[in-house]
Structure 1
C-alpha cells in the first residue's frame, strides 16, 4: 500500500514489497523533549577499512549528500554501503536507531528487508527449475488449487508480476484487519483469500502489476515441490550456498538484536507508530525476511549474476519487461533500474535497497528505519538516487516499482 488520503485505510503495505509486509506509540506523538539529537556520520569499521575507502573528495561529497537527503526526507536512521572494485568503498551510518533514547544507527544492525525477500524466494524456485522439478511455464493450478484462472496463470507470470491476480494488500478489509491488530499472525492461505474476493485485473502475461499474491503462491509452490517449510528451503538451498550467515525468514515477529526501531505512518489514523514488533507473517514469501549489511552486500552480486543458477536459467530471470515506471524493468523477481540489478524492500517501519551494477561491479546497499513517504516518494528511492547520482552519474537509480495511490 502507498500513502492514502487522510483518514482512509492505508494502501501501500509492502507494496515494495517493491512495491511494495496499529499499535501506535504511547503516546502516539513523540514529546518535544524526545526529539532525536543529530548524530554525526560514522564509518563502517572493517566493512570498509580506511586504506580501501573511496578518495577523500568523493567521500566528503557522499557524506554531505547522504546527510542532506536523510534530513530532508525525515529519515530517523540510515545506513549506506557502497563497494566499487578498483575505486574503493564507503560505509556510513547516520541518524538514530531509536528516537526515544537517541541510540545511534549502526552498520552492524539487523533490519527487516521487505520485498527483497522476493529475490530469495524466486531464487529457490529457479533452483528447482535447474533441478528439473518445475518448469516456468507450468500453470499454478498444477501445484496450488483454487487460484482464480489458475489453469492459465504460469509460474513465470507470477514471478514477473504479470498474473493479473488482485493484490491482497490492496483489499480494504485486509488493511483494516492488519492495522487494527498488527501483531496478529497470518497464514499464506488467509492473505490470499483477501485477494481472491476480487476479480482478476488483467489476462495473464499482458500487464505488469506488482502483487504480493504472486510471491505467496510461489512460496507455496516451493513448499509443495520440496516437501519442506519455505524457511528451511531458503536457509539450506539459498542462504547457505550464497555464503550468508545472518539472513532468515522468521516464523513470526522475532527480531534478533541489535536492530533499530522502525517507524511508520501506515496506521489507521495516519499517526506515526513504532512498528518494530509488528508481525510480518502477512508478507511471508513476498517480504518477511531479515538480514544485515554484510549479508546484503554478499547477496547483491550473487543474485544479479546468477551465481546459484545455471546460465540458461539466469538468462530467463533477466528477461526484464516494461513496468510503466520510467527507467525500470522487471524480470523474474528482480528489478533493473537504469542498469542497477536487484530489488528494494518496504514494509511498515523499514526500507532497504540492494542492487548491483554489472558494468562497474559496484554494489549499493541501503537500510532505513522508516517507510514514511517524503513528497510522495519512498525515502529509500530518494537516498538511492542521491547516492548513485554521485558515484555512477551515468546510471542513476530510477526508482522502485511500488504502486502509489
Structure 2
C-alpha cells in the first residue's frame, strides 16, 4: 500500500467489486476457494512466479499457496518462509516512535528540529508529518537509478546519505498542507528514534516489538548483512526479460523505510497485537489511526501514522503494503480481527498483479465469514 523502493505503487483500479470480478474472470483456472482462485490468478494469469497467503483467524492458521517459490527447481513457496517486507517496515517504525511519545520522550507535534537539529531545511516539519507523509519531503528513492538493479545489490546506504539525497530537492509542498508518500519521512523517523534512545533502530524494534511478541523471524538487517534467511522463496526482479534472483542484497538502501525481514505469520501476529492494543496505549493507538485521505489508488483509502486504511467488501482493512526488490506483499487486519499477509515473490510485479493483490487480500479476510 505504498510506492515501493523502485517507485511503483500497488494500485487497485476501480471498485473492489470490479477487482473481485476480474479475479474470477479466467475460466481456465480451477477455483476451489475464493482465496485459491485469487492467488491462481496472480500466478497463472498475471505471471507472478508464486504467491502465498497466511491467514490467522483466532487460533486457526490457514496457508494457501500458488505457483512456485523457485522457478529453477519448481519448489513451492515454503510454508511461512522469510521475505523482505518493504514498507510494512513503516508500521514497526511508527510503533516505536509512538511508544516513545507515550513515554513522554517524543512529542508528535514538535518539530523534527528539536530532535535532529540541522538535518532538514524546513524547521517546521513535525514528527507527526513524517509518520503521516504530510511533510512535503522529496522521496529519495525517486533518485535511485533502477535501470540497473544489480548496481544496488551491494550498495547499501547510511540514513544520513539518503536524507541528503532528498533535501537537495525543493519541498513538494508546505508541511501539513497535503499528502504525498515519501520514503524519506521514515528514514528521518528512524534517525529520530535512534537519537532519542541512543540505540540502533533494529535494537529498539527488537526490544519493543519482536521480543515481547515472540517474533523470532523478524529483524532489521544492518549494513552488509545481505543474506535472506532460509527457508525462503526466491525473490525475483525482472531484468531484460529474465527473472533474476534478488533474494540477497544490502537492504540498508531501504533502511527504516523498507528494510525489514519477516515472515507472514510474524506479520499477522504483529498487526493483530498492534490493532488489538498490545503494543500501544489507547491514546497512542488512536493517534496512529487518525487518518487523512491518501492517494493509494483505492477509492476511500486513508493513511494514519504508519498505518493505512482501505475498504474491503466486508468492512475495513488496517495495515500496510510493502514492495521492495524481489517481494511484494500486503499485510494487516480485517473485520473481526482476522489477519492476513499475502506475499508475491516478484517486484516489480506485472501491472495486472497490482490490482489482484488487493483482491486476494479481500478474499483472505472476507471469504468464508
TM range (shorter): 0.7 to 0.9
CA drift at 1:212:
0.7
- Computed over aligned residues only, the root mean square deviation of the Cα atoms, in angstroms, reads 2.7
Residues 17-56 of structure 1: pairs in structure 2 closer than 5 A:
none
- Distance in 2 of aligned mates of 1:216 and 1:199: 18
CA drift at 1:150:
3.5
Report the equivalent of 1:283: 254
Cα shift readout 1:283-334 (whole Å, capped 9, x = no counterpart) = 1111101111221121121222332111011101100110134221000010
Instruction: Say yes or no: does 1:117 pair with 2:94.
Output: no
Secondary structure of 1:364's match?
strand
Report the equivalent of 2:15: none
CA drift at 1:176:
6.4
Instruction: Say yes or no: does 1:384 pair with 2:358.
Output: yes
- Distance in 1 of aligned mates of 2:39 and 2:147: 35
- Distance in 2 of aligned mates of 1:177 and 1:193: 22
Conserved 8 A contact 2:55-2:339: yes
Normalised to the residue count of structure 2, the TM-score between the two structures is: 0.84
Report the equivalent of 2:309: 336
Cα shift readout 1:108-156 (whole Å, capped 9, x = no counterpart) = 3111111000011110111100111010011111122334444100000
CA drift at 1:197:
1.3
CA drift at 1:270:
6.9
| Residues 85 and 241 of structure 1, relative CA distance in 2, 3 Å threshold | closer
Secondary structure of 2:332's match?
strand
| Residues 176 and 140 of structure 1, relative CA distance in 2, 3 Å threshold | farther
Conserved 8 A contact 1:17-1:116: no
Cα shift readout 1:253-292 (whole Å, capped 9, x = no counterpart) = 1321111111113x5x675422111211111111101111
Conserved 8 A contact 1:297-1:363: yes
Secondary structure of 2:117's match?
coil
| Residues 12 and 132 of structure 1, relative CA distance in 2, 3 Å threshold | closer
Report the equivalent of 1:350: 327
Instruction: Say yes or no: does 1:361 pair with 2:337.
Output: yes
Report the equivalent of 2:127: 155
| Residues 178 and 187 of structure 1, relative CA distance in 2, 3 Å threshold | farther
CA drift at 1:355:
1.0
How many positions carry a matched residue from both structures?
A: 341
CA drift at 1:17:
8.6
1:167 to 130, 139, 147: 139
Residues 45-194 of structure 1: pairs in structure 2 closer than 5 A:
60-85=33-58, 90-171=62-143, 175=146, 179-194=150-165
Secondary structure of 1:360's match?
helix
- Distance in 2 of aligned mates of 1:275 and 1:215: 23
- Distance in 1 of aligned mates of 2:227 and 2:365: 36
Instruction: Say yes or no: does 1:309 pair with 2:283.
Output: no
- Distance in 2 of aligned mates of 1:191 and 1:336: 28
- Distance in 2 of aligned mates of 1:179 and 1:194: 20
CA drift at 1:187:
0.8
Report the equivalent of 1:261: 234
Secondary structure of 1:241's match?
helix
| Residues 177 and 81 of structure 1, relative CA distance in 2, 3 Å threshold | closer
Secondary structure of 1:256's match?
coil
- Distance in 2 of aligned mates of 1:390 and 1:284: 29
- Over 4 Å off, 4+ runs: 14-19, 174-179
- Distance in 2 of aligned mates of 1:14 and 1:158: 20
- Distance in 1 of aligned mates of 2:310 and 2:77: 27
CA drift at 1:177:
8.3
| Residues 118 and 270 of structure 1, relative CA distance in 2, 3 Å threshold | farther
Report the equivalent of 1:239: 210
Normalised to the residue count of structure 1, the TM-score between the two structures is: 0.77
- Distance in 2 of aligned mates of 1:184 and 1:310: 39
Cα shift readout 1:76-116 (whole Å, capped 9, x = no counterpart) = 12111223349x65311222221112222122311111100
Residues 180-219 of structure 1: pairs in structure 2 closer than 5 A:
180-219=151-190
Cα shift readout 1:38-75 (whole Å, capped 9, x = no counterpart) = xxxxxxxxxxxxxxxxxxxx963432332133221211
